[in-house]
Structure 1
Amino acid sequence: MKRNKTEFAILPAFHGDCILIKTFDVNNNDFFILVDGGTAQTFRYSLKAELKDITHIDLLILTHIDSDHIAGLISLFKSSLIDNITIGEIWMNHPELVEVENDELISTKQGDNLKNLILEKQPNVKLLEISTLEKSINKSGVEFVILSPTPEIKNELYRQWQASTLAEKEKEKVTISSQQDTYCKSLKDLSRIPFAPDKGINDDIFNSSSIAFILRCRDISILLLADSRPEIISESLRSNGFNECYPLNVNYVKISHHGSLNNTSQELLGLIKSDNFIISTNGGTSSHKHPSRETIARIIFNSQRTDEILNIYFNHQIEDLRKRIGNFISEDDFNSGNWVAESKNWF
């Protein structure tokens, strides 16, 4: 099918990520990209319907092995739907992929299950590991500039994964912006609080190993950050020649890790120029509530802001987010910063 305009969906993936991109190559032929699969519910309630009329996916990317990114893909490969879809290439980094028993646990007991499913259902698929060694990958006019992970981080992921004997990933007890004291502070005041992540990169290896990249289609550009760490992305952007005087200019930014407090720094935002930011979350889980009010503040008051209105998009209804995490943005917040918030899935 011929196409001359890119459209993409940040599907309502519950507390996960699932992104479907319909773009085109140099000959204006369809070029479809699926980034992550969200939770198992994401496949049942969103992804399955979007894929029912698709017969070919040019590139499938599993950014990392957290359950809210991989579970929907396991559901896809276990379904009959995959029998009607051919996949050209798959990117994923893992020594052994995981079988997810539910949406909160990562089991190592059936580590080869997804990989075996892929090889069974898509025997001719090309499987590639991805790191910043690849730098730029061009597929018929669709360009990917790889920003994460570095080879060192990928190797550390493999070391930790192979050394692990845990049956499930330890649940972190984190404090995010559901706290009432942050709700009472203005966004401008919150934006001034220095970035101070509660974990180091190696202590957050699953997120640190995320495949993050700049996607340059023939008509638009998107920065897709998965659950990556801002320290890694900032360093990669600088190594690609971007800085505060010459920032990366993109049409859209998919913010890292559902708007978590620990994954978007002032430094990173100072290297990016965009008027459109997207946060993928339904409010999170009982122990991980997203988005962080501090992250929203940093986006609105970042140093690269222009006079244009800034758009922050959510892939779930804002009122539903408020029901889960409280009044994380209020009417008073819109009185400064020249910004709007909107719930939207297709762009």
Structure 2
Amino acid sequence: MLPAKDGDCLLLTWGRSTELHHLIVDLGREGTYRAVKDRLVGLSNIELFVMSHIDADHIAGAVPLVKEAAAPFAPARVWYNARPQLQAAHHRQSVLEAFGARQGEKLARGIVNFGWPWNAEFASEIVSVDSPEAQEPISLPGGLTIRLLSPRDEDLVALIPVWDGELEKEGLRSFDPDRDDDPLSDEFEPFGGAPEVESLAEASYQRDKTKPNGTSIAFIAEFEGKRVLLAADAHSEVLEAALRPLAEAEGGTYRVDLLKVSHHGSKANTSKDFPRLIDCIRFAISTDGSRHHHPDAALISRFLAADPARPKKFYFNYRQDSTDIWDSAALRGVWNYEVEYPSDDEDHAMNGTLTIDLFS
């Protein structure tokens, strides 16, 4: 997890020490790209660059990227659903409409200008679970496979009116659909002490209905038996629908070695049923908590209450109020978990970086 502020910028690496392969997911806020550029420029074998969806905390870092005179890195393939893919999902057309000024959204134009292969694994050029190619895992060089879990065509289509309205405004996106109008509303959970895990886990669940989050590209990456579920900001119900047959095939729960929790730990993107659908004891959450007070205590509580006996581990790439409350010896003793934060780093630009090794 790289320093994406309240967003995501993820780097997945696999292979042998003599030949490593890489996958980049999202670029966080605008300052993220400046912080991580030198690290990305030096990478070879970038097999896939995924822009999961158009929320500013995932895509704003692409603005300085596409302003570069030349591509700063060379992904072998790019997955990203822009306006043409939304329209193609509506019609299920294999030919994309031409880019006009109104549809010249910056990342899409940058992909074209850089000559990057765009959604080439899909004949329709739509990254969707409804594309025929997504019915089986997709193989990447170095032995990694990807099983797509989200988005669905219907969720891509639902974004069209939102996209069209925003394309009339200046800039890439001037809105953030996750914004809370009232930062002091009940959406935020003030704490005077340690979280009450059992009561929080049983609190009512109100699902995320934001259309951009519904278009999130979420997937399982697997290498030599290790599975990582990168959930972007996907809706819990969409993930559950995709995971349920996989869980049934494995006896009721689907093994995941690491879950990058959806929507930075929002309680609206992980239902009370979701933790019982996967067999997972490692959970990664990317956020500095600056805008939405993520992760929600109810979200962490759902994972703890669903599996209280086994040892678990939570990885937070920022130490902040909403993650600090879980660094409690009393809570760890009762609920059998550990927490990991980044170590102090003299390079302050890279604060928010945490490396997780599934083979150590």
Query: Shorter-chain TM-score: which interval?
Result: 0.7 to 0.9
Q: Which runs of 5+ in 1 are unaligned?
A: 1-9, 98-107
Describe the SS at the equivalent of 1:161: helix
TM-score (norm 2): 0.77
Closer, same or farther: CA 335–166 of 1 in aligned 2, 3 Å = farther
Question: What's the CA shift for 1:11?
Answer: 1.0
1:117-132 matched pairs, under 5 angstroms: 117-121=110-114, 123-127=115-119, 128-132=125-129
Amino acid at match of 1:63: S
- Residue 355 of structure 2 aligns with which residue? 346
Aligned residues: 311
Q: Of the candidates 209, 212, 215, which is equivalent to residue 215 of structure 2?
A: 209
Question: What's the CA shift for 1:16?
Answer: 0.6
Distance 1:165 1:119 in 2: 18
Amino acid at match of 2:129: T
Amino acid at match of 1:126: W
Q: Which runs of 5+ in 2 are unaligned?
A: 86-100, 120-124, 343-353
- Residue 43 of structure 2 aligns with which residue? 54
Q: Please state if 1:259 is matched with 2:261.
A: no
2:74–2:116 CA contact under 8 A, matched in 1? no
Distance 1:195 1:34 in 2: 31
Amino acid at match of 1:276: R
Moved more, 153-162 or 268-277: 153-162
Question: What's the CA shift for 1:182?
Answer: 8.3
Q: Please state if 1:75 is matched with 2:64.
A: yes
TM superposition outliers: structure 1 runs of 4+ over 6 Å = none
Q: CA RMSD in A?
A: 2.9
Distance 1:176 1:224 in 2: 28
Question: What's the CA shift for 1:173?
Answer: 2.8
2:128–2:152 CA contact under 8 A, matched in 1? yes
Distance 2:251 2:127 in 1: 29
- Residue 147 of structure 2 aligns with which residue? 145
Question: What's the CA shift for 1:181?
Answer: 5.7
Closer, same or farther: CA 326–150 of 1 in aligned 2, 3 Å = closer
Q: Deviations 1:105-151 (Å, cap 9, x if unpaired)?
A: xxx97842222222222x15233431112133222432111111111
Q: Of the candidates 290, 296, 319, which is equivalent to residue 292 of structure 1?
A: 296
Amino acid at match of 2:138: I
Question: What's the CA shift for 1:177?
Answer: 6.3
Q: Please state if 1:113 is matched with 2:102.
A: no
- Residue 189 of structure 1 aligns with which residue? 199
Distance 2:293 2:19 in 1: 40
Q: Please state if 1:23 is matched with 2:14.
A: yes
2:295–2:323 CA contact under 8 A, matched in 1? no
Describe the SS at the equivalent of 2:127: coil
TM-score (norm 1): 0.80
Question: What's the CA shift for 1:70?
Answer: 0.8
